[in-house]
């Protein structure tokens, strides 16, 4: 959802809460009913906004999952690169760090630091 729309929903919800509070403070059966409806509407709006934000927050996780699948798909070519040049131990993704545009692989077994000049495919 658009960020402007989200802000608008929050704004409308706040206005509804304030209006609802005024009606509730004013008292009387009719006003309390109106106030309750306004506050309820605001809660529904905020809940809807919260849910859409939650869906948006979940999106990067989905991208990361696709990214991992892609890595596994090209596992044969990547596996050759993911070996320590010193002791030949298989290195995992955790050992790879991107520092200032360069790729640095630190072997957890012997501590050898390997730097890759060419940028990786991903």
Residues forming contacts to Zn ion in the complex (CB under 5 A) are 84, 86-87, 89, 107, 109-110, 112
Tell me the C-alpha distance between 102 and 96, whole Å: 10
> For residues 13 and 95, which CB has a smaller minimum distance to Zn ion in the complex?
95
> For residues 51 and 85, which CB has a smaller minimum distance to Zn ion in the complex?
85
> For residues 18 and 110, which CB has a smaller minimum distance to Zn ion in the complex?
110
CA angle at 7 for the pair 6 and 10, rounded to the nearest 5°: 90
Q: How far is the CB of 82 from Zn ion (least distance, A)?
A: 12
Asked whether 35 and 23 are in contact (CB, 8 A), the reply is yes
For residue 113, how many C-alpha atoms fall within 13 Å in the half-sphere facing its CB? 6
Q: How far is the CB of 116 from Zn ion (least distance, A)?
A: 15
């Amino acid at each position: 959802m658009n960020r402007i729309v989200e802000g608008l929903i929050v704004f409308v919800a706040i206005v509804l809460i304030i209006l609802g509070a005024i009606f509730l403070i004013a008292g009387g059966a009719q006003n309390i009913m109106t106030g309750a409806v306004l506050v309820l509407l605001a809660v529904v709006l905020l809940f809807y906004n919260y849910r859409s934000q939650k869906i948006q927050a979940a999106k990067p996780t989905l991208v990361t999952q696709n990214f991992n699948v892609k890595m596994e798909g090209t596992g044969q070519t990547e596996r050759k690169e993911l070996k320590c040049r010193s002791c030949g131990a298989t290195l995992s993704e955790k050992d790879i760090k991107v520092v200032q545009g360069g790729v640095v692989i630190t072997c957890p077994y012997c501590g050898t630091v390997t730097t890759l000049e060419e940028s990786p495919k991903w």
